[in-house]
Copies of this chain bind each other. A is one copy, B any other.
Amino acid sequence: MSNLDLIAKMAGFSKATVSRVLNQSPHVSQETRNKILSIMKELDYVPNRNAISLSKGQTMQIGISTEGINNLMLPFLNGFVEIASQYGYQTIIYTSGGDAKKELQPFEDLRRKRVDALVIITSVNDPSLLRSYCKYGPIVSWQRMDQPDISSVAMDQYEGYWLALEHLIEKGYNRIANAFGRPNSINTHNRMRAYADMMGKHHLTVSPKWSFSSVYTIRDGEQVVRDLLEHKDDLPDAILCANDYVAAGALCEARRQQLKVPEDLAIVGFDNTELAHTMGITSIHNPIAAQAQNAFYLLLLQLLDTEVELEILQFSLIQRFTT
């Protein structure tokens, strides 16, 4: 029985909780902390963080590999930086600009023990090549990569999209347009599947004029509304947007074009950002900060002799004035 096991047993808490106290995590109540610390004192247990780190050759640095940084990634990055920092780890973000060779830099740094672990945000290399670096240290991914050794904190976008579609149909909308993001990503594919299934289930009209992809920004959202208005005899009555920025652009442009929202056109965003809140846009809450926390815990699980409890990740719909 390890020291941690013994302390956990005596204190009546899980080993994960004892680890959290040792790691000075804020997610432990003062009462629990005091009880565990008093038992450590009783047992004369001296945690030596630095000694542990050095003996394991840890750098206390975690790398993040990404092509670039955009608004949508910020909640994940910030969530990760914060939780890692609470545990004493520094986060270093490697940008590749989409260059396959540069993208290997953080993986090479993992091999050379310059970082302890890696998180993949987006990548351009063959996933099986990236996977081959798992033997040098733990790697997790934000998106699903379908590689056995790389855990992912991805969520099934089918479920989130389904929630939004269900809400629109309940509200009586039945000509629903889509503004999708990356055309070939697994996420978009799952959103498309949810749309096809829901339209089939309710025998609703589907028009190729109502489907857009590679739509990411406020200006892209404005353009979608202008494009829809080119076919005035075939207008949708609702539009589901790739993210809240797209929804914000669509909302402002719709109003400029004298469309009433939600009477003429309902708009739903994704991610439930502050922007959706202030502009009153109905949005799908996407627990991105919790994904970041889980990503860190999955790495910690492999880095330290510790147990972790993962957050349950669930989409929810926040209704506002655009539906």
Identify the A interface with B (CB < 8 A): 61, 68-71, 74, 77-78, 81-82, 85, 90-97, 99, 102, 105, 114, 217-219, 221-222, 245, 248-249, 252-253, 274-275, 277-280
Contact = CB atoms under 8 A, between A and B. Distances in A.
B69 A69 contact: yes
B278 A248 contact: yes
Contacts of A102: 85, 90
Contacts of A92: 92-95, 105
A104 to B, nearest CB: 10
A61 B105 contact: yes
8 contacts: A85-B95, A85-B99, A92-B93, A92-B94, A93-B95, A218-B277, A219-B278, A252-B279
Q: How many copies does the complex hold?
A: 2
Contacts of A95: 81, 85, 90-93
A82 B275 CA distance: 27
A239 to B, nearest CB: 15
A252 B278 CA distance: 6
A64 to B, nearest CB: 9
B85 A274 contact: no
Nearest to A253: B278
B97 A82 contact: yes
A313 B253 CA distance: 31
A237 to B, nearest CB: 22
A95 to B, nearest CB: 5
A249 B248 CA distance: 13
A130 to B, nearest CB: 17
Given A217-B274, A274-B217, A78 B74 contact: no
A200 to B, nearest CB: 35
Contact of A93 (B74, B93, B96, B217): B93
A221 B278 CA distance: 10
Contact of A96 (B90, B249, B275): B90
Contacts of A81: 68-69, 95, 97
B222 A278 contact: yes
A74 B69 contact: yes
A68, A77, A253 interface centre (most CB from chain B within 10 Å): A68
A143 to B, nearest CB: 19
Contacts of A61: 105
Nearest to A275: B218
Contacts of A274: 217-219, 245, 249
Contact of A78 (B69, B77, B219): B69
Nearest to A249: B278
Contacts of A85: 95, 97, 99, 102
Contacts of A280: 252
